[in-house]
A and B are shown apart, each in its own frame.
Chain A
Amino acid sequence: GQQVMQIPQYQHVQEGEDFTTYCNSSTTLSNIQWYKQRPGGHPVFLIQLVKSGEVKKQKRLTFQFGEAKKNSSLHITATQTTDVGTYFCADVYGGATNKLIFGTGTLLAVQP
């Protein structure tokens, strides 16, 4: 079945450093959604990418969809302690029912 892998599984950075997580699939992704989950919390929607090569920005966060729609990335510039959490990509998969299949997630730790 559809599998979406994320790397790295875990990243520890100093506050102010940049951070990138990558979302990869062996098959073509439909649309990509990104979610953030704070420790002990629930996933919260960040953004959706639809078009090949699409780039979207939210303040210090930059989201990119690969040209072949087989990968996506999230880049955070100058991390802050508020960025701590697990970042998930999710493929909107499943034809008419649009099931959301999540990647394995990247846990970001930020040291002040």
Chain B
Amino acid sequence: NAGVTQTPKFQVLKTGQSMTLQCAQDMNHEYMSWYRQDPGMGLRLIHYSVGAGITDQGEVPNGYNVSRSTTEDFPLRLLSAAPSQTSVYFCASRRQSFSNQPQHFGDGTRLSIL
């Protein structure tokens, strides 16, 4: 019962490097989202998707890109890493976009930008 799988679990980057955080879910959920978590600031929504081929911005989208080519996968791309992007990143999914279903979270990716 995999649920939401995020890779990698840990990553260290240098300023200016790019990378992609992977997220996959096997529950056939329509809705997927990315959050970043920083101390004292809770979880802030970066981007979300209500279904394959559809993405939209959340609260803090700058510096990040997403795509949703399949229902299962929702990768998050850092275009040019900056120290301010050091954070813990969580991917989440839920059954439907037009619903109040609970969100299921992955284990997170701990990212450090030097």
Contact = CB atoms under 8 A, between A and B. Distances in A.
A91 to B, nearest CB: 11
B108 A48 contact: no
Interface of B: 31, 33, 35, 40-45, 48, 50, 56, 58-59, 90, 92, 97-100, 102-108
Q: Looking at chain A's contact residues, is the secondary structure mostly helix, strand, loop, or mixed?
A: mixed
Given A43-B90, A97-B48, A102 B42 contact: yes
Chain A interface: which size bin?
20 to 34
B42 A103 contact: yes
B93 to A, nearest CB: 11
A33 to B, nearest CB: 7
Contacts of B104: 45
A98 interface: yes
A9 B40 contact: yes
Contacts of A99: 33, 45, 48, 58
B98 A96 contact: yes
A105 B44 CA distance: 12
Contacts of A110: none
Interface of A: 1, 6, 9, 31, 33, 41-45, 48, 50, 88, 92, 96-105
Nearest to A5: B42
Given A42-B107, A97-B56, A48 B98 contact: no
A88 B97 contact: no
B40 A101 contact: no
B97 A43 contact: no
A88 to B, nearest CB: 6
A45 B103 contact: yes
B82 to A, nearest CB: 22
Contact of B43 (A41, A43, A48): A43
B43 A44 contact: no
Contact of B45 (A96, A100, A103, A105): A100
